């Protein structure tokens, strides 16, 4: 076990195991190879890259990378393909026949998802060249959700100097109902814990403790009531306006009895519109780095990259994926 503090990554890697195996779906992407090499050089975790060995070596040579220590998963030489097919058919339980499974296994996203599902690796990171839909589809079909979770959500880890915030859900669920907002809150608090935070969760609205009204406020208020009846080991409060959630002076004026006291570190947005707009505003105008989307509620650590992700972002998302495995 190692204890490492990587200030460039902006997160504390609490006792990350350098043997944690993270599989990259797009091994012929030069950015992925640079990120994998950095992970090896820093002895942070054990990266594996998927793709044809000759093609990966060709890309590495052009990038002047020494990948002799890098594990390559070449589908042409993978010995357990038959077992993978049988496991895929078992997971789909009559929803796919052998011909369909054979077609799926030719696709990098399905092959890599199954490789992790079968325990050959601890986590998956894809999406640098594949679309979000193509990356998530096999995860939803084959891996599915954790016990106790009825669906998947996402969060962003927002970083600025020493400050870390969780924003959710900013990329998956458009108009969550009360049950879904409750579950997004619970999942996001667990993500916060994985990244070393003690959750202080604010349920956001345009109203603070009755200052506004409407069906949107009712949704958040009912979510807060439901959560207040649960035996949680962290603070949750709402409904709160965002300034009331983050500014102690404003909180003292608008919600003096709120246990958050303007010090929230997990922000739950009422819908995808506000969440997506909110994190991008903070990233572009507030100088925060946005890492994500980080998948929540998935049975195994699996994440989707932006296709515009930089080498540094891919490196950091690999660390985040490994941190999810540690929990």
The CA distance from 87 to 136, in Å, is 19
Contacts of 278 (CB under 8 A, 6+ apart): 167, 170, 242, 267, 269
Same-domain status, 176 and 257: yes
Same-domain status, 52 and 129: yes
Residue 292 domain-assigned? no
Same-domain status, 178 and 304: no
Looking at residue 4, its pLDDT comes to 39
Residue 34 domain-assigned? yes
Same-domain status, 112 and 163: no
The percent of the chain in helix, strand and coil, each rounded to the nearest 5, is: 45, 20, 40
Looking at residue 306, its pLDDT comes to 87
The tally of domains found in the chain comes to 2
Looking at residue 16, its pLDDT comes to 82
pLDDT at 9 > cutoff 80: no
Same-domain status, 278 and 186: yes
Residue 294 domain-assigned? no
pLDDT at 105 > cutoff 70: yes
**pLDDT tens digits, residue range 235-266?**
999 999 999 999 999 999 999 999 999 999 99
Mean pLDDT score, 77-102:
95
Query: What letter does residue 145 receive in the DSSP assignment?
Result: B
Same-domain status, 220 and 270: yes
Mean pLDDT score, 111-116:
98
Looking at residue 232, its pLDDT comes to 98
**pLDDT tens digits, residue range 145-163?**
999 999 999 999 999 999 9
Looking at residue 94, its pLDDT comes to 86
Bridge-based pairing state of the strands 289-296 and 71-73: unpaired
Residue 231 half-sphere exposure toward CB, CA atoms < 13 A? 0
**Averaged confidence pLDDT in the chain:** 94
Same-domain status, 222 and 304: no
Mean pLDDT score, 23-34:
98
pLDDT at 10 > cutoff 70: no
Same-domain status, 196 and 72: no
| Rounded alpha-carbon distances, angstroms, from residue 327 to 23, 102, 145, 160, 288 | 18, 33, 15, 24, 26
**pLDDT tens digits, residue range 166-223?**
999 999 999 999 999 999 999 999 999 999 999 999 999 999 999 999 999 999 999 9
Same-domain status, 220 and 310: no
| Domain that residue 184 falls in | 153-285
Residue 160 domain-assigned? yes
Same-domain status, 58 and 124: yes
| CATH number (domain holding residue 161) | 3.40.50.10750
| CATH number (domain holding residue 94) | 3.40.50.10950
Mean pLDDT score, 82-101:
95
Lookup: tokens for 134: 């193509």
Residue 292 · residue 282 · CB < 8 Å: no
Looking at residue 181, its pLDDT comes to 98
Same-domain status, 137 and 249: no
Same-domain status, 47 and 163: no
Residue 69 domain-assigned? yes
Mean pLDDT score, 278-290:
96
Tokens 């958050």 sit on residue: 260
Mean pLDDT score, 114-141:
96
Considering all CA atoms of the chain, what is the largest pairwise distance in Å, rounded to the nearest integer?
A: 65
Looking at residue 88, its pLDDT comes to 97
Residue 290 domain-assigned? no
């Amino acid at each position: 076990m190692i204890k490492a503090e990587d200030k460039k990554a902006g997160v504390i890697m609490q006792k990350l195991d350098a043997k944690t195996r993270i599989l990259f779906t797009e091994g012929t992407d030069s950015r992925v190879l640079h990120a994998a090499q950095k992970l090896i050089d820093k002895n942070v975790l054990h990266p594996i890259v998927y793709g044809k060995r000759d093609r990966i070596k060709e890309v590495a040579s052009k990038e002047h990378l020494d990948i002799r220590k890098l594990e390559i998963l070449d589908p042409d030489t993978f010995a357990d393909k038959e077992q993978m097919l049988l496991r895929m058919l078992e997971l789909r339980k009559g929803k796919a026949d052998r011909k369909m499974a054979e077609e799926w296994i030719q696709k990098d996203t399905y092959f890599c998802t199954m490789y992790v599902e079968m325990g050959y690796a601890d986590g998956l990171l894809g999406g640098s060249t594949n679309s979000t839909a193509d990356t998530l589809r096999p995860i939803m079909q084959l891996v599915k959700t954790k016990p106790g979770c009825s669906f998947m959500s996402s969060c962003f880890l927002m970083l600025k100097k020493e400050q870390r915030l969780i924003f959710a859900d900013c990329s998956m669920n458009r108009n969550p109902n009360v049950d879904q907002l409750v579950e997004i809150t619970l999942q996001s608090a667990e993500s916060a814990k994985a990244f070393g935070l003690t959750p202080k969760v604010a349920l956001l609205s345009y109203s603070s403790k009755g200052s506004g009204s409407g069906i949107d406020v009712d949704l958040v208020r009912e979510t807060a009531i439901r959560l207040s009846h649960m035996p949680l080991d962290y603070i949750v409060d709402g409904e709160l306006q965002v300034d009331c959630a983050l500014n102690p002076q404003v909180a003292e004026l608008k919600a003096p009895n709120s246990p958050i006291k303007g010090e929230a570190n997990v922000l739950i947005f009422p819908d995808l519109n506000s969440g997506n707009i909110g994190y991008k505003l903070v990233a572009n105008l507030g100088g925060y780095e946005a890492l994500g989307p980080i998948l929540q509620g998935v049975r195994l650590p699996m994440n989707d990259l932006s296709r515009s992700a930089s080498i540094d972002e891919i490196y950091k998302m690999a660390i985040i994926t490994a941190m999810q495995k540690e929990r």
